[in-house]
A and B are shown apart, each in its own frame.
Chain A
Amino acid sequence: MRKLKVAVYKFSGCDGCQLQFLNMEEELLQLTDKVEFTMFYEAKRDNKPGPYDVAFVEGAISTPHEVDVVRKLREESDIVVAIGACATYGGIQALRNWANVEEFKRYVYPNPEWIEALKTAEPASAYIKVDYEIYGCPVSKEQLLLFINQLLRHKVPVLPVDSLCNECKRKGNVCVIVAKGTPCLGPVTRAGCNAICPTYGRGCYGCYGPMIDPKPELLAEKFKELNLTSKEIALLLRQFTNWAKPFREVSRRYG
C-alpha cells in the first residue's frame, strides 16, 4: 500500500498542536508504517515539496506572508485539515481583532515600523477551503490519531458535535455551575477533551469552540444570575475561541 503523504505546518501558534504528533510517542513509530511525513519541519531535516495527500495546519493566519503560504499549501494538498483553536477560530491570537494592531506593535516593539502583521488573526478557512477541522487548544492526540485512522480506512472522518456538558455528565462529574456557582462554558462548548476542566474543579473555558447550535446568549443570562458583571461575561466568552461567531457576537453585546 502506498503511504499517505502528510505535511504538517505551523502558522501563528504555539506549536502545541503539531507537538501532539510527537506526543504520540510509541504510536508515532507505528504510524510511520502507513504515513510518510513528507514535510514536518519540527521533526525532520529532509523535507520535501508537495503534492501532499493531507496537510495538517496549526496556527492562525496573521501576516501577509502566511496568507501566501497557506494558499500554496492548499494548491499542493488533496485534503487540508485545520488543527487546533488557532487554525479553526483564530485562537487566542484573534484577541488582536478586538483592538488596534498598530497600537499593539507600538506597545511591544521599540521599532514598530519594522513589524508586519495583518489587522486580524483569522482561521485558515478565512483564506482557503478547509476540508476538515479538529478542535481544541490543543487538539487531543487521541482525536488526531482517530482522525488519521479513519482517513487510512477511507471513512469520512467524524468527530463529536455535542456539548462538553454531555461529556461531563457521562463522566459523572458534579456540575460546577449548579454546585459551586462557578461560571462554565461547558453547555455551549464542543465535546472532545473529556471534560477535564470541570473534572479538575473549574469551569470550562471553551477551548474546543462552540458546539452545534450553542445559544451562548442563554448561558450569558445564567451568568447574570450568578452576579457576574457584563465585563466578566464578555471576558469569559472572549478566550481561546473568541472569534468563533456565536461567542464573538454575544461577547460584543456585553462590552
Chain B
Amino acid sequence: MGSVIKVDYLSRVEGEGNLYMEIKDNKVVRVEVGIFEPPRFYEAFLRGRKYHEVPDITARICGICPIAYIMSSCRALEKILGIEVSEEINVLRRMAYLGEWIESHVLHALMLHAPDFLGYQSVLDMAKDFPEVVRKGLKVKAWGNEVIRVIGGRPVHPVSFRVGGFYKVISRSELMKLLKGVWEVKRYAKELLEWVLKLPIPEVRRDFEYVSLKGDREYPILYGRVVSNKGLNISEDDFEKYVVTEQVKYSTSLRYRIKGRGVYVTGPIARYNNNYHLLRPDVKEVIEAYGYGSPLVNTYQSIIARLAEVYHAVIEIEELILNYREPREPYIEGNVRAGLAAAITEAPRGILYHRYELDDEGFVVNANIIPPTAQNLAAIEVDLMELGDKLVNLEESKAQWLAEQTVRNYDPCISCATHFLRVKKLIIN
C-alpha cells in the first residue's frame, strides 16, 4: 500500500510553490518541490543596461537581501573594469553586509523558523508565551537594519552603494552613533543564541555536501574560494564549469548540481561547517557550552548557524566601527571596456553567483545570476526524501508540519519560509 502527500501551496519560495511526495512500502519514492513563482527575467532585461545601473536593478531580485545582490554584481563588474577597492571601502561593505545577515537571519530564525520547534502558528502567537525573546530578537533585528540604514540610506534597497565603492563617504561620527546601546544588542544576540541551543532540535544525521566560501583570516562574506566539506576547492571564476543547470517542468526556478557529485547545500550551515574556526571565540564558547560544535549534522540545526552568525556579526560590526577610518575617496573609477567576469559573495541564504559580459561602452551583453535558493532546491528534495518513513507514520497534520519545517530549514526566502503549506495525504491503491 502506498500514499501520496500533496502540498498544493508550499509557502512562496520567494513566490509560490508546491510539494508532491509519493510513498510506497514506507519509503518515499518521489519528491517534487515545484515553484510557481512568476518568472521575472532579470538576466534578460539587464541586457542593454549600463554597468553602473546593474547593482540597483539586481537589488530588486530580493527585498530581504538586496545588499547581497548589490555586492555580487559590484564585485563582478569591478573585475571587468579593473577596479580594486580600498580596504576602507571593503570594511564599509562588510559592515552593511553583516547588518543584512542580522536582519535576514533574525527574521527567519525567530519569526519564521523558531515557531516550528515549539508548535506555534506564527511569531505573533509565540510572542504571547515568549514576549521577552521576541522583544529582544526584534531589537537585534532593528539594529541590523539600522546599520544598513546608516551606511545605505534605507534598509530595503539601499541607495549609497555603487560599482567602485560608495556615492559618498560614510562618516565616522555617523557610524559611532550605532554603538550607543550596542552592549545591549550584543547581550540580546547572545541570549538568542542560547535560546535556540535549548530548542528541541531533531537529532537525525544527513550526509550532505556543504558548499560555501572559505574565509582566510575572517569569516567569509565578500571574497573567498568555493569549498566544501567533501573536498571541493575552486575559484569563483570556474564555478559554472562545475555546476550543471537543470530545468524541471514543475518549477519556474532553475536548479543546480555539482558535476559528478550531485546535490549540495549552501547557506549559513555550510559557511559555519566550513569556517567554524573563524567565528569569534565568544560565539564558540556559547555553542560549546551547550554541547554543540562543528560540524552541524542536519539542516534543522541551521537555526544554530544563523544565530551564531548573528552574534558574530554584532561583535564584528562593533570592532569594525571602532577601527573605522574614512576612505579618502568614496569610490574608484574604472576603465570602461569590454570584458567578462564572475563573482560570488555570501548572501544570508548562501553563495550568490553573478556573471556579466560588457561591451566596450559598458553596456551589458550577457548576464547570469545563480541565487542560493535555486542551488538548494535539489537538496530540499533529498532532505524530504530521507524524511520518508517518519512522515508515513505521522497523522496528516503532523506530517504536514514536519514537511514544512524541513523546507523552512533552508530559509528558501522569507515567503517560502512562511508558514503556509497545505499537505494532503491521499491513500493510493
Contact, CB under 8 Å: B156 / A22: no
Which residues of chain B come closer than 8 Å to A23, judged between CB atoms? 145, 155-156
What per-residue 1/0 map shows which CB atoms of B109-123 lie under 8 Å from chain A? 001100100000111
Which residues of chain B come closer than 8 Å to A111, judged between CB atoms? 247, 249
In chain A, residues 13-31, which have Cβ atoms closer than 8 Å to a Cβ of chain B? 13-17, 19-20, 22-23, 25-26, 28-29
Which residues of chain A come closer than 8 Å to B107, judged between CB atoms? 22
A26 and B139 CA atoms in complex are apart in Å by 8
Which residues of chain A come closer than 8 Å to B14, judged between CB atoms? 15
A157 and B35 CA atoms in complex are apart in Å by 37
Which residues of chain B come closer than 8 Å to A92, judged between CB atoms? 45, 57, 60
Name the prevailing secondary structure of the B interface residues: loop
Within 8 Å by CB of B45, from A25, A96, A105, lies: A96
A35 and B325 CA atoms in complex are apart in Å by 46
Number of interface residues of A (CB under 8 A): 63
Which residues of chain A come closer than 8 Å to B155, judged between CB atoms? 23
Of B40, B123, B138, B141, chain A has the most CB atoms within 10 Å of the CB of: B40
Contact, CB under 8 Å: A66 / B38: yes
Which residues of chain A come closer than 8 Å to B420, judged between CB atoms? 41, 44-45, 47
A232 and B252 CA atoms in complex are apart in Å by 33
Within 8 Å by CB of A193, from B64, B115, B154, B166, lies: B154
A66 and B167 CA atoms in complex are apart in Å by 38
Which residues of chain A come closer than 8 Å to B123, judged between CB atoms? 43-44
Contact, CB under 8 Å: B415 / A41: yes
A107 and B45 CA atoms in complex are apart in Å by 10
Contact, CB under 8 Å: A115 / B36: no
Smallest Cβ distance from B132 to chain A, in angstroms? 12
Instruction: Report if A32 contacts B (CB, 8 A).
Output: yes
A19 and B38 CA atoms in complex are apart in Å by 18
Instruction: Report if A108 contacts B (CB, 8 A).
Output: yes
Contact, CB under 8 Å: B159 / A196: yes
Which residues of chain B come closer than 8 Å to A201, judged between CB atoms? 160, 167-168, 330
A113 (CB) vs chain B CBs: closest residue: B249
Instruction: Report if A235 contacts B (CB, 8 A).
Output: yes
Number of interface residues of B (CB under 8 A): 64
Within 8 Å by CB of A14, from B50, B56, B60, B166, lies: B60
Residues A19 and B56 in contact in the complex (CB < 8 Å), given A108-B41, A200-B160, A235-B49: no
Instruction: Report if A199 contacts B (CB, 8 A).
Output: yes
Which residues of chain A come closer than 8 Å to B83, judged between CB atoms? none
Residues A11 and B38 in contact in the complex (CB < 8 Å), given A19-B64, A19-B414, A114-B249: yes
A107 and B38 CA atoms in complex are apart in Å by 16
A96 and B44 CA atoms in complex are apart in Å by 9
Instruction: Report if B127 contacts A (CB, 8 A).
Output: yes
In chain A, residues 44-92, which have Cβ atoms closer than 8 Å to a Cβ of chain B? 44-47, 62-63, 65-66, 91-92
Contact, CB under 8 Å: B138 / A114: no
Residues A62 and B245 in contact in the complex (CB < 8 Å), given A23-B156, A25-B142: no
Smallest Cβ distance from B143 to chain A, in angstroms? 10
B251 (CB) vs chain A CBs: closest residue: A114
What per-residue 1/0 map shows which CB atoms of B6-48 lie under 8 Å from chain A? 0000011011000000000000000000001011110111010
Residues A42 and B153 in contact in the complex (CB < 8 Å), given A17-B63, A96-B45: no
Instruction: Report if B162 contacts A (CB, 8 A).
Output: yes
Instruction: Report if A219 contacts B (CB, 8 A).
Output: no
Contact, CB under 8 Å: A32 / B45: no
Smallest Cβ distance from B368 to chain A, in angstroms? 9
Which residues of chain B come closer than 8 Å to A15, judged between CB atoms? 14, 62-64, 413-415
Instruction: Report if B349 contacts A (CB, 8 A).
Output: no
Contact, CB under 8 Å: A96 / B41: yes
Contact, CB under 8 Å: A104 / B167: no
Residues A14 and B62 in contact in the complex (CB < 8 Å), given A19-B414, A235-B49: yes
Instruction: Report if A172 contacts B (CB, 8 A).
Output: no
Instruction: Report if B254 contacts A (CB, 8 A).
Output: yes
Residues A44 and B49 in contact in the complex (CB < 8 Å), given A15-B414, A138-B157: no
Within 8 Å by CB of A22, from B111, B167, B419, lies: B111
- A65-B38, A92-B60, A193-B154 known; 7 other A-B pairs, CB under 8 Å? A15-B413, A25-B138, A41-B419, A43-B112, A104-B44, A105-B41, A201-B167
B residues at A contact (CB < 8 Å) = 11-12, 14-15, 36, 38-41, 43-45, 47, 49-50, 53, 56-57, 60-64, 66, 107, 111-112, 115, 121-124, 127, 134-135, 138-139, 141-142, 145, 153-157, 159-160, 162, 166-168, 245, 247, 249, 252, 254, 330, 404, 413-415, 418-420
